[in-house]
């Protein structure tokens, strides 16, 4: 009887441990999908979203030379989504900037390019998988400071290096 009780307690403890781990990890697992979704329905933020089908169509419809067309097709074939957020509202400019900083930090994204010119900052970040030499996500963040608009462009998918 004692062995059965121990086994029961082990199973119960294991189930609790698994449940706690799932609850702890679920925000991390779904964070990439929702990190910037909070800006989708805000008045004052313009959002353009292109899914896989539209990206494929756009790549096919370009009138380019064959080698350029092949390069575009190679780049777009494994992209899942492209999203552009744009605002001139100061409150949202600050919120987007904060969300980008947090997302870059939490997802170990690398800074590829940073350019400052005439009060405007452009930063390009990427997250890539070194094992198969692909870029999985790219963020382009344009902060015009107090002038004009702030723009965030996100690419998700896989692009071979």
Q: What is the rounded distance in angstroms from the CA atom of residue 102 to the CA atom of residue 38?
A: 14
The percentage of residues in the chain with a pLDDT greater than 90, rounded to a whole number, is 20
Q: Is 78 exposed, middle or buried (0-12, 13-18, 19+ CB in 10 A)?
A: middle
pLDDT digits (tens, 9 = 90+) for 63-120: 666 666 666 666 667 778 888 999 999 899 999 999 999 999 998 899 988 888 888 8
**For residue 25, what pLDDT is reported?**
42
Q: What is the rounded distance in angstroms from the CA atom of residue 142 to the CA atom of residue 84?
A: 11
Name the residue ranges covered by the structural domains of the chain. 1-30, 35-160
pLDDT score of 17 more than 70 = no
């Amino acid at each position: 009887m004692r062995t059965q009780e121990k086994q029961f307690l082990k199973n119960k403890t294991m189930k609790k441990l698994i449940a706690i781990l799932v609850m702890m990890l679920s925000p991390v697992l779904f964070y990439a999908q929702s990190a910037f979704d909070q800006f989708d329905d805000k008045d004052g933020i313009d959002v353009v979203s292109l899914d896989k089908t539209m990206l494929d169509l756009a790549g096919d419809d370009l009138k380019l030379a064959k080698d350029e067309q092949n390069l575009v097709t190679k780049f777009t074939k494994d992209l899942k989504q492209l999203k552009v957020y744009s605002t001139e509202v100061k409150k949202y400019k600050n919120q987007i900037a904060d969300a980008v900083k947090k997302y870059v930090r939490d997802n170990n994204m690398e800074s590829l390019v940073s350019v400052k010119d005439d009060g405007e900052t452009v930063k390009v970040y990427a997250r890539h998988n070194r094992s198969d030499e692909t870029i999985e996500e790219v963020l382009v963040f344009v902060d015009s400071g107090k002038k004009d608009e702030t723009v965030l462009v996100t690419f998700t998918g896989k692009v071979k290096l």
